[in-house]
Structure 1
Amino acid sequence: MLSRLRHFTLCSLALVPLAGSALAGDMSAWSAPEGTAARLVAGGSQDGALMGGVEIRLPPGLKTYWRYPGDSGVPPHFDWSGSRNVEAVEVLWPAPSRFDDGGSFSIGYKHDVVLPLRITPKDRTQPVELKLNLDFAVCGKICQPANAALDLALQPGDTGAPSAALAQALASVPRSAVLGAQGLGAKGEPGIATAELHHASGGTSIRIVTHVDHAATADLFVEGPDEDWALPLPARETGVDGRTVFVLPVDGVPKGADVTTARLRFTLVDGERAIEVDTPLSAR
């Protein structure tokens, strides 16, 4: 089965360099004085890891992309190789939105956004120097790639509190849940009841039954195990008994991969709440 091609129109073939100088403290300098810009921010510590974020500033009307950009666009790329005393950096993605690009759909953020970071030092008693080479895209009617070179020094055992923007971003990161789990939360908490493979004369599809509080606006995104997968965005169907159903055709599966056994990641966004479920499908 052939994967669908993603379309990405660039108004320039060259990356726009945005250089941010290093600062020891709560944040780095902005990578540009105005317009599109990025910076690193510190956010204290949690469970032995240092917390931080990549803050991206977008001019009105423009957007940037989620880790899985949908039919069009490219996701941000993070290069931490120049960092010192860093074992790992995990990007924690706030819940995204779907955008109609006229014949295709993309996934991302149409406002300033902070991407939270969980930084694991090699030596927790020593300072950390984050060095990030960030490639990302900023899009309106046309898209332009950008590059930001950022660095920030973090002190061991930082007890500072995250900024309001970072705290808000952390609160919007989808929490992990279990397929079909009972007691997923208080009233208004989203949940995924089933995710099943359906075979019909019109073809094979994945049918996901959810329970949400905002049926008209809730959205669902499905990712494969790696970047070779290019699953389409699900379509919403009218739900019954307080449930909303999402359906997507089985397309964009890499040659040789088996959708019936692969672990897929489902991100369900319901108003201000969101969950992630990592699970294989149930055959039917």
Structure 2
Amino acid sequence: MVSAKFSSKALALSWLAALAGALSVIPVSAAEVATAWQDGHRSKARLIFGRTASGAPMAGLELEMHPGWKTYWRNPGDAGGVPPYFDWSKSRNLRRAEVLFPTPHRYKDKVGTTIGYKERLILPVKLIAKDPSKPIGVALIAEFGVCKDICIPARATLALEVTPATLPPLPAELKTALSSVPLPTAGPGGRLPYPRSLSLELGRAPKLVIEIDYPAGVQGADLFVEVAGELYLPPAVRVGAPRNGTVRYHIDVSDGVDLKALKGRELRLTMVSAAGAAEGRATIR
């Protein structure tokens, strides 16, 4: 299992050493701004960079895994995986790095359900500089899991100094990843899914019952649920047939879930459909 905290040795990593390693490989093309690839267990990682149409700097954490291997979303599922963890504390002139997650996928096997991505992934990262007129020294230590039959911890240490004003336009693959990040739900009247109802049903088999409306149709419908803090929720399971574009999901909370702690908690809902994915919030009453 991957530790949620870095060792003191990792945190003491020298910026100069990281930067020297990142600059040791020539980019693939003159227009590309990227770190060198760093090899890991059945995987490799690098950072790519570009500038949005509005001029904002953006990075992408690119992971490539061997055929059949997967990595995990923020909620990895119930098959023994771990969510990724990012440390940007060694960066310079970086006020904040906001990691965005493209729409995940659900994979089922004999162990359980994995929520994540297979073989290739780019996580877009918004870079907010302390002083936008100066270069940003981006330094990242990323911990993530890769799995095929079992989960293996992996780590990448990546760094590069970039000047926002001289970055090239976003690479095509980063644009594609950004376009697959779920949008904020617009509620009724749009094409994207939105939450219709949420309730906690008690009894012999306590469960959360969530209904999602899919205005553009239920093709590709799925739901991924997160709760803040130390609470864990199993993956949502679709139940019954859709009714007038509404799909019902259950989350089993009968085992190992503090029911008292659930009440009043806000859930983060990632609602998926063929028409697109949306993200919304709902509170357990």
Deviation (angstroms), 1:163: 1.1
Are the counterparts in 2 of residues 22 and 153 from structure 1 also a CA contact under 8 Å?
A: no
Listed one character per residue, the Cα deviations across residues 97-150 of structure 1 (whole Å, up to 9, x for unaligned) are 112131421211012000000111111110001111111111111232211111
Counterpart of 1:207? 209
TM-score by length of 2: 0.82
In 2, distance between residues paired with 1:128 and 1:102?
45
Distance 1:247 1:160, change over 3 A: same
Provide the secondary structure at the position in 2 that maps to 1:203. Answer: coil
Distance 1:254 1:232, change over 3 A: closer
Deviation (angstroms), 1:242: 2.0
In 2, distance between residues paired with 1:244 and 1:32?
42
In 2, distance between residues paired with 1:254 and 1:47?
44
Match of 2:271 among 254, 268, 271: 268
Say which is worse superposed, 146-155 or 31-40, in terms of deviation.
31-40
| 1:272-283 aligned within 5 A | 273-281=276-284, 283=285
TM-score by length of 1: 0.82
In 2, distance between residues paired with 1:34 and 1:210?
38
Deviation (angstroms), 1:33: 9.6
Listed one character per residue, the Cα deviations across residues 10-52 of structure 1 (whole Å, up to 9, x for unaligned) are xxxxxxxxx8932496111111399510000102146674211
Match of 2:185 among 158, 177, 194: 177
Distance 1:158 1:70, change over 3 A: farther
Match of 1:121 among 114, 125, 129: 129
| 1:223-262 aligned within 5 A | 223-226=226-229, 228-237=230-239, 238-250=241-253, 255=258, 258-262=261-265
Q: Which amino acid aligns with 1:168?
A: T
Deviation (angstroms), 1:253: 7.2
Q: How many residues align?
A: 259
Deviation (angstroms), 1:219: 1.2
Distance 1:254 1:155, change over 3 A: farther
Deviation (angstroms), 1:196: 2.2
2:223 is the alignment partner of 1:220: yes
2:22 is the alignment partner of 1:22: yes
Counterpart of 1:70? 77
Q: Any unmatched runs of 5+ in structure 2? A: 3-17
Deviation (angstroms), 1:64: 0.5
In 2, distance between residues paired with 1:69 and 1:34?
19
Q: Which amino acid aligns with 1:245?
A: R
| Identity among equivalent pairs (%) | 35
In 2, distance between residues paired with 1:265 and 1:118?
20
2:141 is the alignment partner of 1:133: yes
Q: Any unmatched runs of 5+ in structure 1? A: 1-7, 10-18
Higher RCO (CA 8 Å, separation ≥ 6 residues):
1
In 2, distance between residues paired with 1:90 and 1:169?
14
Say which is worse superposed, 243-252 or 123-132, in terms of deviation.
243-252
In 1, distance between residues paired with 2:253 and 2:151?
29
Provide the secondary structure at the position in 2 that maps to 1:157. Answer: helix
2:198 is the alignment partner of 1:195: yes
Listed one character per residue, the Cα deviations across residues 192-214 of structure 1 (whole Å, up to 9, x for unaligned) are 22222233x43332211122356
Indicate the structure with greater helix content. Answer: 2
In 1, distance between residues paired with 2:94 and 2:53?
16
Distance 1:138 1:124, change over 3 A: same
Are the counterparts in 2 of residues 223 and 266 from structure 1 also a CA contact under 8 Å?
A: yes
Listed one character per residue, the Cα deviations across residues 48-101 of structure 1 (whole Å, up to 9, x for unaligned) are 742111000111100001111111201111111111111111100001011213
Q: Which amino acid aligns with 2:22?
A: A
Listed one character per residue, the Cα deviations across residues 203-255 of structure 1 (whole Å, up to 9, x for unaligned) are 332211122356364211111112x1110111102221121111112357765
Q: Cα RMSD between the aligned structures?
A: 2.6
